[in-house]
Amino acid sequence: MAKQKIMFFDTTLRDGEQSPGASMNVEKKARIARQLEKLGVDVIEAGFPIASPGDFQAVKEISGIIEKSEVCALARSLPKDIQSAAKAVEGAKKPRIHVFLATSPIHMQFKLCKSKGEVVKQAVDSVKLARQYCNNVEFSPEDASRTEKEFLFDIIERAIDAGASTINIPDTVGYAMPAEYGALIRKVRERVPNIENAVISCHCHNDLGLAVANSLEAVKNGARQVECTINGIGERAGNAALEEIVMALQTRKDFFQEFEHSINTREIINSSRMVSELSGLFVQRNKAIVGKNAFAHSAGIHQDGLIKKKSTYEIISPQEIGLEETELVLGKHSGKHAIKNRLESFGIKITEQEAEAIFPKFKAMADEKKEVSNEELLALAKGIKSLI
Ligand SMILES: [Zn+2]
């Protein structure tokens, strides 16, 4: 059976850039866009052109330099937004306009102050208007996970009729549970009569730490596009992290065997480091996949096991995401074997007797400093070698 492609829609430059304190200039955004293309993302959401002249400029610039990925601009369901988005992506090889409108009772009543009928009309008019400029239009019923089901199915059907070819189901406030969100995606697939004319997309936020779990559940239930960001940056607690979703698909091919994707995982660490550096948002040490500690093993038993066979404690080889090698942190939990091994990687062979001599000194240093650097270990070894 032919595999089904999961499209990666990266919104680092739009939702990610909405992270407090992450504002980036046009030049930085263009650098990130180039890296995203190298990473192999299918769609780059480059910005929200009506939001500011800088945002407009960034989308326009990125549209001019990207060859393979689609370049998408966000717009509220308002003519001035759609016209601005259309103008910003008009130079793109593969342009897309993403139109959104809130559909949950709380948003319609308190934010839009509109009835259901008015919201449906506005959505249909907006998709139609966007289609006049671009034949690739995505529609998002904002706050979909808190929208009344029947109303949601109805507005999706009409948006597809109006010309939307991607339907995004945002869990805007990060409220959904995985099983619940998966069931919602499945219901959209079952209950919207013309759904085969559109790709279902998921867009999950991490307020309860479930963005990646929800996205994977969506994929299992019929979503064929995932919206995500590098390092999981984004509004509030952030968006689903691209690197975590792709490495889950990759590492658990047995569980996700019906799917394929076009991400070059070896570009993950470069992408992560670039986004962290240019956005100023540092990655927490223990973050899955890209945190500094993600491949660092410190327990002695683990280090010993890894040296004998990598797969004892490592489910992903660091090379797969573009890292050089696993980092065994040398500290007070490390055993003699790990020390010998590290020294050997620097071309220093030590005897059993020398290892016995180094070990207490190493332990004393580790007790004081928590982590013993390669330089410090080399200095210890040289001291011992010259003594013996
Ligand atoms: Zn969002």
Judged by phi (left if over 0) then psi (alpha if -120 to 50, else beta), residue 322 lies in left
- Ligand 1 centroid to Cα of residue 357, in Å, is 57
Q: What is the mean pLDDT of residues 301-320?
A: 83
The verdict on residue 284 lying in a domain is no
The verdict on residue 289 lying in a domain is no
Q: Check whether residue 99 and residue 151 sit in a common domain.
A: yes
The residue among 279, 307, 341 that closes a domain is 279
Q: Which residue has the higher pLDDT, 95 or 382?
A: 95
Cα(226)–Cα(245) distance, integer angstroms: 9
Q: Check whether residue 114 and residue 190 sit in a common domain.
A: yes
- Ligand 1 centroid to Cα of residue 8, in Å, is 15
| Residues 51, 57, 61, 66, Cα dihedral to 10° | 0
Q: Check whether residue 247 and residue 323 sit in a common domain.
A: no
Q: What is the mean pLDDT of residues 273-287?
A: 94
- Ligand 1 centroid to Cα of residue 77, in Å, is 16
Cα(290)–Cα(293) distance, integer angstroms: 8
Q: Check whether residue 318 and residue 365 sit in a common domain.
A: yes
- Ligand 1 centroid to Cα of residue 15, in Å, is 5
- Ligand 1 centroid to Cα of residue 203, in Å, is 6
- Ligand 1 centroid to Cα of residue 82, in Å, is 18
Domain count, the chain: 2
- Ligand 1 centroid to Cα of residue 368, in Å, is 45
Structure tokens at 41: 């993302």
Q: What is the mean pLDDT of residues 139-153?
A: 96
Q: Provide the pLDDT confidence category of residue 18 given band limits of 50, 70 and 90.
A: confident
Single-letter residue type at 355:
A
Cα(264)–Cα(141) distance, integer angstroms: 31
Instruction: Tell me how many helices (H) and strands (E) the chain has.
Output: 14, 12
The verdict on residue 285 lying in a domain is no
Cα(281)–Cα(234) distance, integer angstroms: 10
Q: Check whether residue 237 and residue 350 sit in a common domain.
A: no
Q: Following DSSP, what letter does each residue of 139-187 receive, concatenated? A: EEEETGGGS-HHHHHHHHHHHHHTT-SEEEEEETTS---HHHHHHHHHH
- Ligand 1 centroid to Cα of residue 71, in Å, is 17
Q: pLDDT tens across 119-144, in order?
A: 999 999 999 999 999 999 999 999 99
Instruction: Let me know: does 43 contact 7? Beta carbons within 8 Å.
Output: yes
Q: What is the mean pLDDT of residues 328-333?
A: 82
Q: Check whether residue 319 and residue 177 sit in a common domain.
A: no
Cα(133)–Cα(166) distance, integer angstroms: 16
Cα angle for residues 46, 233, 179 (degrees, 5° grid): 105
Q: What is the mean pLDDT of residues 377-383?
A: 85
- Ligand 1 centroid to Cα of residue 304, in Å, is 43
Q: Provide the pLDDT confidence category of residue 171 given band limits of 50, 70 and 90.
A: very high
Q: Provide the pLDDT confidence category of residue 353 given band limits of 50, 70 and 90.
A: confident
The verdict on residue 286 lying in a domain is no
- Ligand 1 centroid to Cα of residue 235, in Å, is 7
How many residues are present in the chain?
A: 388
At 297 the pLDDT is 76
- Ligand 1 centroid to Cα of residue 49, in Å, is 16
- Ligand 1 centroid to Cα of residue 11, in Å, is 8
Q: Which residues contact 187 (CB under 8 A, 6 or more apart)?
A: 149, 153
Selection from 290, 296, 339 nearest residue 314 by Cα? 296
Q: Which residue has the higher pLDDT, 213 or 292?
A: 213
Q: Which residues contact 201 (CB under 8 A, 6 or more apart)?
A: 7, 9, 138, 166, 167, 168, 169, 223, 224, 225, 226, 227
Mean pLDDT of the chain: 93
How large a percentage of the chain has pLDDT more than 70?
A: 98
Q: pLDDT tens across 30-45, in order?
A: 999 999 999 999 999 9
The verdict on residue 363 lying in a domain is yes
This prediction's pTM: 0.86
The residue among 279, 306, 340 that closes a domain is 279
At 386 the pLDDT is 64
Q: Check whether residue 379 and residue 354 sit in a common domain.
A: yes
The verdict on residue 181 lying in a domain is yes
Domain encompassing residue 192: 4-279
Q: Provide the pLDDT confidence category of residue 327 given band limits of 50, 70 and 90.
A: low
Cα(230)–Cα(16) distance, integer angstroms: 8
At 170 the pLDDT is 97
pLDDT of 388 strictly over 60:
no
Crossing angle between the packed helical segments 79-89 and 116-133, to the nearest 10 degrees: 30
Q: Check whether residue 245 and residue 148 sit in a common domain.
A: yes
Q: Check whether residue 27 and residue 90 sit in a common domain.
A: yes
CATH of the domain at 243: 3.20.20.70
pLDDT of 378 strictly over 60:
yes
